[in-house]
Amino acid sequence: MKRSVRRTLVVLISAFALLAPAVAASAATDSKATVLSRWTQTTAASTAAWNAARLDRAPWASYGFDWATDYCSSSPDKPLGFDFTNACWHHDFGYRNYKDLGAFPANKDRVDNVFYADLKRKCATYSAVVRPACYSLAWTYYQAVSVFGSLASVSPSDLDRARSLVE
C-alpha cells in the first residue's frame, strides 16, 4: 500500500513539475473566470494546481483572488482527527471568488462537488480501518454545504424545514 502511495505522489509531483512553467505562463493571459474554473474541477490535478497557486500567490496577484478562509466555518476542521482544512479552504476559495465574479449560483453545485472530491481524496490517505468513518464524515460535510453552503442559495422553505428538525 505504501509503495503505491509513494508511486502516486512521485507521478503527481513529476507531472506538476512539468506543468508548472505552463501554468505560470498562463497566469499572464487567462481571464480570472478561466483560471477559477480550472482550479475548481473535481480532479486531483485541479486541486493540485489550486494548492500550488495558494502556496505561491505572486504570479496570480493581478487577478485579485480572495484567499481568505474560515476553513470549515462552524464545523470542526479536523473531525475525529481527519484533517479537512485544505478541502474547506479550497471550498471557501471557490465560493468567495465565484461570488465576486457574480457567477456563484451557476457554479455552487460544482464547487460543492469539488469539496466532496477533495474530502474523499483526503480520506483515501487514511488507513483502511478508519477510512469508512472518514468517508461518512465527508458525506455529511458535503451534504451540509450542499444544502446550507450559502443561505442566499437556499430556499426559505428549506430553512424552515431545517429549523423544524432542530426544534
> Mind telling me the catalytic residues?
91
Q: How far apart are CA 152 and CA 105, in angstroms?
A: 9
Structural contact between residues 67 and 53, judged by C-beta atoms closer than 8 angstroms: no
Amino acid, res. 19? L
Q: How far apart are CA 91 and CA 151, in angstroms?
A: 15
Of 136, 134, 141, 118, whose CA–CA distance to 72 is shortest? 141
Q: How far apart are CA 41 and CA 166, in angstroms?
A: 34
Q: How far apart are CA 27 and CA 55, in angstroms?
A: 15
Q: How far apart are CA 108 and CA 18, in angstroms?
A: 31
